[in-house]
A and B are shown apart, each in its own frame.
Chain A
Amino acid sequence: MHAEFQEVVPSFPLQAHNLQLSYQGQLALAGVDLWLEPGSVLGLIGRNGAGKSTLMRAMIGLLEPQAGQAFVFGEPALRLSDAAKARIAYVPQQPEALAWLTATQMLDYVGRFYPRWDAHFAKTMLHRWEIPPSRLLAKLSPGERQRVDLIRALASSPELLVLDEPAAALDPVARRELLREVALRAGESGTTVLFSTHIVSDLERVASEIAFMHHGRLLLRCGVDESKERYARLWLPSRQASAAPKQALSRRHHEDGSISLVVECDAQQRWPEAAALPGARIDALGLEDLFVEIAE
């Protein structure tokens, strides 16, 4: 998809063309094209092992793809200048960096490298999220470590925020606070955000767009609200099963011979012709249902 996108646009925070990567013979990325426009919040969703983290890491130059290229603010992701690096913040799934420093030391250390470091924000957030400032990071709980790393990322005042399952270890209160902060940054400062998650409600809360990954491929990308209008489940009884459209995001055969497909409407908002067959049924899909239908 999005094969029409070919040129490197310097204003785009992230661009990836035909990214391909495999680990020990196992395909992790199968030619992914993806880009983010300034100020957009893209939620990446997919099952475990779908390739979300790999895609994010390859897009910001933390992995070298076997084919394809990634660009950050128009620069090759694998050879970023200091100016470009200062505009990015990345939070990994289970932050483990600098475990031998205390939270205060770590923020002090990292902060010296960023020209727009917001020390007041870092201090305030440490206090608000009740992080013991002088305890070693190694001795913090996974949730606390994730919070410290989120503070680190946000305090650098990034223009591009890449978050790999940022809410995975957070309690509901902290998760809501984080999402609010992300939405605020995107809305007020125009920060571009790429984040992965398993929690569909998080996507609905902050993402302007979603992208589904499955087996190293990007199956679909659309606006969050648009997804409900653009995709639906088409159910065909057994006698009509042979008329099922060839193009479908997922296809499931039932024991009684009937068939369910996730289908996409065309530019004129029309469903495939099979939807008009006798006995056929079109069901609207919520985001979570859409995810489950595609991922199963």
Chain B
Amino acid sequence: MKLLAIMQTPWQANYPASRATAMVLYVSAAIGALAIALFASGDQTWRLASGCYAIGLFFTWAFFFPAGLLLAMDARLLRMPGVHRRVLQSLLLYGLLTVLLPAPILIALCGWRAAPCLVIFALCAVGGLNFSLLPRYVAVFVGLCPSFFDALTKRWEIGALIGPHLVALGAMLALGLLALVALRWRALLQGTVAASGWTAPLVTQWRQGSWGTLNRMGRTQPLRQLPAWLQAQADITATALQWPRKALRIALGGWYLPQTAKSYAKQLSLLPLFMLPSLGALLVLSGTHRGDTTEVLEGILIGLSASFVVLAGPMIALLTFIYLQRRWSRTHAEVALLALLPGIGNGVQLKRRLLRVSLGLPLVLHALLLGLVWLGVALYPDHRQPLVLLLLAQLAAATFSVALVLSLFGDRAPSLWAVGGIAAISFALNIGSILVTLLGWQQRTPAWMAEVVPTWLLGWLLFVLGMAWLARRGWLALQERPHPFLPFTSNAD
């Protein structure tokens, strides 16, 4: 009975969606690793199998098990005895089950040369815990570690240096990381380090729900947590009646809020901080005098830009939708104020004005991304054809934004799950577009590509038609609404 309670603890500490996501990812990674170990052949099989399993392991220990800390923290505040111990016991149990148990299986399937997998698994588990427990700004840099390590290996023969001592060094690193986890866990539990704000660990974000930070969109809490120097300073000058659109932007807040020049400058000043690791990698690379450096840098730049452009498109649409949906669901907030504010507009004029404001910024961002792709077309005329796919992806993302906003204001928004489904289709089409672009760029277009591209274009066409239908339906419904500041009744939450 006690064992069952221990086993259930991480489940009780997580939201249902987090449980499902963690389970799907972990089981998929485990099955993938098993399949590789069973059916692949060669000396490197164990590496592939370990790598596959390690991805699932890292995710689970970074995003699923750390939620036990939140349970322990709450139990401590509520003076509930025994909960912290149960959380620790569950971590120990799952550590044994997910780290120690798979290693002998892999060794049995791949031979003794797979022994280092134990160290890799241990590193992934404690690395995942650290990722979640360390201040969130550390997590940003952790995400850039693979790129940085890759850059280092290009300059120095790190593989040859570490290779013979991989197990010993890995074990020492794992122990060091475990000690860090223990220290951080204790500090967070006892409240001696901040559990909110910029230095808070990632794990505290799961308090907001399965969607983490996305759940905080449109809420007042993040405003309370921001340090004073980072707060946006609204520019409320010239918001007289002749500037109703600017007045609407102020009322919508968030990224619509017009800010003073000083406020924009303060926020942009953070940008170089996040670019430091990339700059470091570039500096390391620039020290080499190998002939392919320029090519490597160019490849990295193009790959990063293409990925950014196509992934940012659907994200703009999703973030706009979620933000506006949240603001409209707060009946005590701006919608009530705007509905009764004289001079902001009436009837069709007000609806058009609201649409222009709420779609203006997302469409400007889409246009900027389009401009970036266009720049690529101008700079690399030989690669025009693969880049055209990226242009299409961006145009489709813009129709996604328009469709979501119109259907939202028309109170005909699809459910959040349906929106997630549409976003998944969009991401799949986008990722395909990147692959086609990058393969085409490297002149490594396989024979099947010629057949796939028309199908891909048809996919985009169908997607855009679907969005046009959603947008039209939303627009017609919006015309029927007495005013646009009524709460939504459709199942968008």
Hey, which bits of chain A sit against chain B, CB under 8 A? 57, 60-64, 76, 78-83, 85-86, 88-90, 92-101, 105, 108-110, 112-115, 136, 138-139
Contact (Cβ within 8 A) B337 A99:
no
Which among B223, B330, B482 is the interface contact of A138 at CB below 8 angstroms?
A: B223
Is the beta-carbon distance between B239 and A139 smaller than 8 angstroms? Answer: no
**Residue pair B342, A85 in contact (C-beta under 8 Å):** yes
Summarize B's interface: helix, strand, loop or mixed: loop
Interface centre among B247, B339, B342 (most CB of A within 10 A): B342
Stretch of B73-81, B155-163, B250-258, B458-466 with 4 or more beta carbons under 8 angstroms from chain A: B250-258
Give Cα A99–Cα B343 distance, bound, in whole angstroms: 21
The reply to whether A110 and B250 contact each other, CB–CB distance below 8 Å, is no
CB-CB under 8 A for A63 and B342, given A94-B332, A100-B223, A138-B223 = no
CB-based contact B486/A62 at 8 Å = yes
Tell me, rounded to whole Å, the shortest Cβ–Cβ distance linking B291 to chain A. Answer: 53
Residue contacts A-B, CB under 8 angstroms, 14 given: A62-B331, A62-B340, A63-B486, A64-B481, A79-B346, A79-B483, A80-B346, A85-B340, A85-B341, A96-B332, A97-B332, A98-B253, A113-B343, A115-B342
Kindly list chain B residues whose C-beta atoms are within 8 Å of the C-beta of A112: 239-241
Do the beta carbons of A101 and B236 come within 8 Å of each other? Answer: yes
Interface size in chain B (residues, C-beta < 8 A): 38
Q: Is the CB of B333 within 8 A of A97?
A: yes
- On B, residues with C-beta under 8 Å from A are 220, 223-224, 231-232, 234, 236, 239-241, 247, 250-251, 253-254, 257, 330-337, 339-344, 346-347, 481-483, 485-487
Is the CB–CB distance between A98 and B334 below 8 Å? yes
Whole-angstrom CA separation of A79 from B482 in the bound complex: 6
Give A166 to B140 CA distance when docked, in angstroms: 45
Assess the A97–B337 pair: CB atoms within 8 A: yes
Assess the B334–A88 pair: CB atoms within 8 A: no
- Contact call A83/B232, Cβ cutoff below 8 A: no
Distance, CA A176 to CA B486, complexed state (A) = 33
CB pair A61–B482 under 8 Å, yes or no, is yes
The tally of CB-CB contacts under 8 A between chains A and B is 106
A88 cross-chain contacts in B, Cβ below 8 A: 340
Query: By the criterion CB–CB under 8 Å, are A82 and B336 in contact?
Result: no
User: With a CB–CB cut-off of 8 A, which chain A residues contact B347?
Assistant: 79
With a 10 A CB-CB cut-off, give which of A79, A83, A98 has the most chain B CB atoms.
A98
A76 vs B32: C-alpha distance when bound (angstroms): 63
Q: Are A136 and B332 in contact (CB under 8 A)?
A: no
Query: Is B231 in contact with A113, judged by CB distance below 8 angstroms?
Result: no
* CB nearest to A24 among chain B residues: B489
Contacts of A98 in B (CB 8 A): 250-251, 253, 334, 337
Contact indicator B483/A61 (Cβ below 8 Å):
yes
B169 to chain A, nearest CB (A): 48
Q: Tell me whether B234 and A101 are in contact (CB under 8 A).
A: yes
Q: How far is the CA of A64 from the CA of B330 in the complex (A)?
A: 16
Closest residue on chain A to residue B221 by CB atoms: A138
Residues of B within 8 A of A62 (CB): 331, 335-336, 339-340, 485-487
Chain B residues with CB under 8 Å of A99's CB are: 220, 223, 253, 333
Q: Are B332 and A110 in contact, with the CB atoms below 8 A?
A: no
> Is B342's CB under 8 angstroms from A100's CB?
no
B223 touching A64, Cβ below 8 Å: no
Q: Bound complex: CA of A72 vs CA of B343, how far in Å?
A: 17
- Given the known interface contacts A99-B220, A105-B236, the answer about A82 and B340 at a Cβ–Cβ threshold of 8 Å is no
Chain B: CB-nearest residue to A79: B482
For the complex, give the distance between the alpha carbons of A102 and B241 in Å: 21
